[in-house]
Amino acid sequence: MDLTVSGPRRLAGEIVAPGDKSVSHRAVMLNSIAEGQATITNFSPGDDCTSTMVIMRALGVNIERASADDGSGDTLVVKGAGTNGLREAEDVLDAGNSGTTMRLMSGILAGREFKATMTGDSSLQSRPMGRIIKPLSMMGAVIRGRENNTLAPLEFDGGDLSGIEYDLPVASAQLKSAILLAGLRAEGKTSISQPAASRDHTERMLSAMGADIRVDGLDVTVGQSEINCVDVDVPGDISSAAFWIVAGLIHPNSEVVIKNVGINPTRAGVITALQDMGGNIELVNERDVAGEPVADIVATSSNLRGTELAGSIMPLLMDEVPVIAVAAAMAEEETVIRDAAELRVKETDRISATVDWLVAAGVEAEARDDGMAIVGSGRIAGGTFQSQDDHRIAMALGIAAMVSDDPITVVDAGCASISYPEFWDELESLGGIVD
């Protein structure tokens, strides 16, 4: 599906961001291996989280799903199977396009008494899995993958798990979570040291469910634990909200309100970065929902300036770089993004994909090994650009179209449904023109 998008004279309205993907994944996974029953509300509608739910069902977990009448996310009722209650699936498990599903499920499947095979689409099969297999194998899990145990499909063939002490080579919430989930069933303690902070949704949720888990700065330790189901009201996804925040900042006549957004400090780096660029961003109605900080976000027209993003902030905004790049193109002076080599192994090479379309749109930009440099001029030309079947590239192009000199045609725009099925409808609700 190709779409041609152009911007309105005024961009204004109120958006309710879809349920946070990271929290949704963990809510269904952890409740599936817990004791009892839980209700998950505002579950992310995207394909990625559906892949997780389908896999848990295939492993014998009873999950009921219903759409909400008020247009919010779906409601799931999960009857937990307990720590050791999963059963062998009848077929290969399909993670679709979801790296979170494959990596976190690896921790759940590691060392089980049954065999399992997990695969994904062509994009997921090209993404690195060796960093997951290595520590899980050190714990005693028997796991095999393609290309010398570095790529999916992955085969799990039992093993006796024991706790380890492990220094993460990168600040990765997916890697950390996979080890923690295996640690729930391992003999002894499993200790992880991080080089920098990463998303802490797993630690928060495990703590709420009664796990033997301790967090001390960048170190996390978990012991063998039985956990109990907990209800989860999933906050709005800040990675999805980031597109509307940038739209509100770069459009010259705008006021965009995004409701019920999770502002967990290990996720909210995009707000810090955009405020440092001079963005008019206000957090209102701040509150705490099930252990996660939540707020409404108001973004209005701003005169942005270039900045440098590097170091410890990068794990806190990695997914938002494609749309931050749009803000950088509309800012004054240069923006430099470093320490973002992880973008090379996402759904596509997001460094190359982002710089390629920026340059084609008349923006001075340069790809670097671990990031990019963008010289803002306040102008983006229109044209036809490839999403490269990457949902975040497609949506970033849609936001760029709100201020481009001419309309932008997004090739394969439908891939936005991977994380945000209603994205193009929401863009129209704010005044954008989508054909």
Active site residues: 319
Amino acid at 99: G
Contact predicate 185/224, CB 8 Å: yes
Q: Is 103 helix (H, G, I), strand (E, B) or coil?
A: helix
Contact predicate 372/355, CB 8 Å: yes
Six-digit token pair at 103? 């990596």
Distances (CA, A) of 69 to 72, 309, 381: 8, 41, 40
Name every residue whose Cβ is closer than 8 Å to that of residue 98 and which is 6 or more positions away in sequence.
25, 47, 48, 49, 51, 52, 120, 124
∠348-328-418 over CA atoms, to 5°?
35
Contact predicate 281/258, CB 8 Å: no
Q: Whole-angstrom Cα distance, residue 243 to residue 324? A: 9
Of the candidates 314, 220, 204, 238, which has an alpha carbon nearest to the alpha carbon of residue 18? 238
Six-digit token pair at 40? 């998950």
Contact predicate 36/80, CB 8 Å: yes
Six-digit token pair at 302? 């701003």
